[in-house]
Structures are given as structure tokens and as C-alpha cells.
Amino acid sequence: MNLPELTILDEKDKRLRLISKEVTFPLEEEDKKRIQDMLDYLKISQIEELREKYDLRAGMGLAYIQLGIAKRIFVIVDEVEEGKFQNYIVINPKIISNSEELIYVGEGEGCLSINRETEGIVPRYARVTVEAQDIDGNTYTIRVREDLSVAFQHEIDHLNGILFTDKIDPKDPYKNQENMREI
């Protein structure tokens, strides 16, 4: 698998602050290719040997706006077991329900657009149910939990111009930690 040529915007780029627009179907061929490129890129970034070869950072999710395109599309690649990957293509997502329980990633969240060390934790719902459309425009509902739930919420934030660092209070980066479960 060759590394797709994707230019991922850095956090300083104001386009990351745009609210992405709803997508209409059918998708253009160009979009289908771009979605596949994004999936390939993330998979490559999660395979250590290839990650080192191409000098990448590991990423689990990528939103269209990180490529400068304000459409409500993101993809996630989840390594379910060693070398086995589950792909998610998520278009026009809406969170239709969420758990009361909150979780946070203990080592901190990461983002392919944020190229620096960050301190602090981001509160996320432990479980969310999301309604979205697939690459053909079919509506589906998915319930996600734990790290996948965090990834979905992180990517949905991108579609609304929000970065995970916005959710960390610089004066109190571990605020409310006692009321959340670490994952």
C-alpha cells in the first residue's frame, strides 16, 4: 500500500474553524477516492513499520476539514486486533443519544492537526449512539463505546470547527477528573 498524498492542516489554519456543510448524494467519484485515501492513510499510520518508513504520527480518525474541505465527512480506522482493522465512513452524523457516564483518555487525546505536546484531559461520553449516512447515502445507526466513542465525538467536533484543545481549561487542565473514568 502506497502512502496517499494528503496534506493535513495544522491547528493554526483557520479553515479548521469552519462549520462543515451537510453532504448530498450521490458522492462524486473524487470524494469516494478521497475517502479511500483517508482510510489508507490512517491504516498505514497505525502499522509501526510503515509509520516509521513514512515518518508519520499514528492517527485513528480524520475529518474532511483537516484536508481543508468543509463537508460533514469523517473516517475512523480502529485496530480491533493485531493487524486487523475496522473502517468507519461517517457522513452527516448526529449524536442521537449519549451515556451519562463521562470518560477521558488518560494519556491525553491526539489529533493529526495538533503537532505539539498538550496537557490536560477532555471529557467525553462513555457511549454514544450516532445516526449517519454511508458512502452510498444509506442511513445507519451505530452505538460506540470507549475509545471508539471518544474518536466519534472528537471527529464530530471537527465538523463543528472544534479542536480537542478547546475543551481543556488551561488554568485547570484536569478539571472534573474525579467525576470521569479514565480509559
Catalytically annotated residues? 155
**Span interacting with Ni ion, options 4-12, 29-37, 97-105, 111-119, rule CB under 5 A:** 111-119
Residue with the shortest CB distance to Ni ion: 111
d(CA 181, CA 103): 5
CB closer to Ni ion, 73 vs 111: 111
Nearest Cα residue to 43 out of 100, 95, 86, 98: 86
**Span interacting with Ni ion, options 9-17, 43-51, 107-115, 172-180, rule CB under 5 A:** 107-115
CB closer to Ni ion, 90 vs 111: 111
Least distance CB 163 / Ni ion (angstroms): 7
> How many angstroms separate the first and last alpha carbons of the chain?
32
Least distance CB 59 / Ni ion (angstroms): 8
Least distance CB 112 / Ni ion (angstroms): 6
Residues contacting Ni ion: total by CB under 5 A: 1
Distance of CA 87 to the CA centre of its chain: 12
Least distance CB 26 / Ni ion (angstroms): 27
CB closer to Ni ion, 110 vs 173: 110
Residue 111 binds Ni ion (CB under 5 A):
yes
Q: Is beta strand 84-98 parallel, antiparallel or unpaired with respect to 73-81?
A: antiparallel
What are the start-end ranges of the E strands in 18-174? 61-63, 73-81, 84-98, 102-104, 124-125, 127-133, 139-145
CB closer to Ni ion, 7 vs 179: 7
The DSSP secondary-structure symbol of 21 reads: B
Cross-strand bridge partners of residue 129 = 97, 143
Residue 35 binds Ni ion (CB under 5 A):
no
| Long-range contacts, 138-145 (Cβ 8 Å, 24+) | 141/96, 142/88
Residue 38 binds Ni ion (CB under 5 A):
no
Task: Name the residues that contact Ni ion, by CB under 5 A.
Answer: 111
